[in-house]
Amino acid sequence: MRARSIVSLSVLALILPLVALHNHIHNLLEIGRTYSTFRSYLRKNEHVLFRYPASEKRVDDIALSEPVPKIIHQIFLSSGRPNSTLSKYTPAIESCKELHPGWDTKIWTDEQGEEFMAKHYPEIHPLYCGYRQNIQRANILRYALLHHFGGVYLDLDVTCRVALDTPLAQDSTVPTLTHLPWLTPGAYPAGVNNAFILARPQHPFLAELLDRVPSRDLSWGMPYVENMLSTGCMFFSNVWMSFVLSSRGRDAPKEDRVYVLADEHGAMEPQMLRGKIVTPLFEHGGASSWHGWDAAAIVLIGKHYGYFTIALGLLMTMVAVGIWKLFRQRKRNQHRRRGSWRSFTGAIRRLGSEKQHDAGHEEVGLMKDG
C-alpha cells in the first residue's frame, strides 16, 4: 500500500508541472521544429530564397503589380529616459533617407506607438502596455505598423547602402525588391530576422503573428529569453515556420508568399544582419541595446555550446547517480530496520515462550508436591 502511494505521488509530481507549463513546453517544441526543419525546408523549396543580386533570371511570376508603399518605419522607445538619445543613430537614418527620396520616413516614439496600437489594435493594446521591456513593445509595433500600412521596417542601427527600389536586372520578372510581397533576411543558425522587413499591407503572415501574440505572453524568468520567445526573433521564426508549412504557406497566391534574402549563390549568411557586418544592401551596427546579462550568458553558451553540453551531461549523470545511491541507501536502511524489528519481535516471542515453558515446569512441580 505504501509503495503504491509513493508511485502515485511520483506520477502526480511529474504530471502537475507538465500541465502547469504546457504553454512553455509547446513553445520549446516549436523552437525544436524551427531548428530541425528550417534548413531542410529551404533546400526543398529553393524558390523561397530571393537571390540578390540575381545570378540568373527567375522564370516564376512572383512580383506584385504595384510595389509596397514607400514608407520606412523606424521605432525609438525610450520610456522618457533622458539618457536615451536618438542622435547616435542619425548617420544611419540619414543614409536611408538620402537613398530613398520621395519616400516617407517615420520614426515612431512611445506616445505615437501607444496611440497607434490603441486605435488600430485595441485587442493587443493592453498586452503592449503591459510588457516589461521596450524591445517587446518595439517588436509588436513593427509587426502592427507593417500589417496596417505596409512598407519597410528597419532597425535604427541599419545603414542603407542601396535603394530598395533600385531596378533589378533588365530581364528580371521582379522589377525591384519592393515588388515582393514579403522579404526578410535569414537568422543564424535557423529562422528569420526582424531587423529588416519589407511587406505589403495586410499580409496574412503578419496577421498570424499578431493573432499569436496573446498566447506567447509567458514569463520565462530571463529578460532576453522572455523577449525572444514572446515577440522577438525566435517568436517571429516559429510563426514563419508554422506559416510556410501550413496550407496558407504552401498554396498561397503570389501576393501572400514570403521570401528570404540570399546572395547570388543562394546563401543566406552574406545577407544576415548579425552583429557588426556589411551586406550587399545594408551595414548593420549590431547595437543590441536591449541585451542584458542573460543575453551575454546565452551568447557565451552559444559560442561554446559543445563544452556546455558536455558539462550539462556530466551534471545530469552526477545527479542521476546521486539519486540512485540515495535510493539504494534508503532501501538498505529499510532492510536493516526490518531486520532489527524482526530480531526484536523474535526476541520478545522467544522470551515469552521461555516464560511459558518455565511456568509449565513450575505447575508440574507443584502438582507433584501436592
**From first to last of its 370 residues, what are the pLDDT tens digits of the chain?**
555 555 555 555 555 554 445 677 888 899 999 999 999 999 999 999 999 998 677 778 899 999 999 999 999 998 777 656 899 999 999 999 999 999 999 999 999 999 999 999 999 999 999 999 999 999 999 999 999 999 999 999 999 999 999 999 877 889 999 999 999 999 999 999 999 999 999 999 999 999 999 998 888 788 999 999 999 999 999 999 999 999 777 788 999 999 999 999 999 999 999 989 999 999 999 865 544 555 455 455 545 556 656 776 787 788 777 777 776 776 776 666 666 656 656 666 666 665 555 555 555 454 445 4
How do the domains of the chain map onto residue ranges? 21-302, 304-370
Task: Pull the grid cell for residue 328.
Answer: 539504494
Instruction: Report the top-level CATH class of 21-302.
Output: alpha beta
- pLDDT given at position 216: 84
Q: Where are the alpha helices (DSSP H) in the chain?
A: 2-20, 22-44, 90-99, 110-120, 125-130, 134-149, 204-212, 223-230, 233-245, 247-250, 293-303, 305-369
CB 167 within 8 A of CB 156: no
- Here the contacts of 235-239 (C-beta below 8 Å, separation 24 or greater) are 235/139, 235/209, 236/139, 236/191, 236/192, 236/193, 236/194, 236/209, 237/34, 237/38, 237/187, 237/190, 237/191, 237/192, 238/27, 238/30, 238/31, 238/33, 238/34, 238/191, 239/205, 239/208, 239/209, 239/212
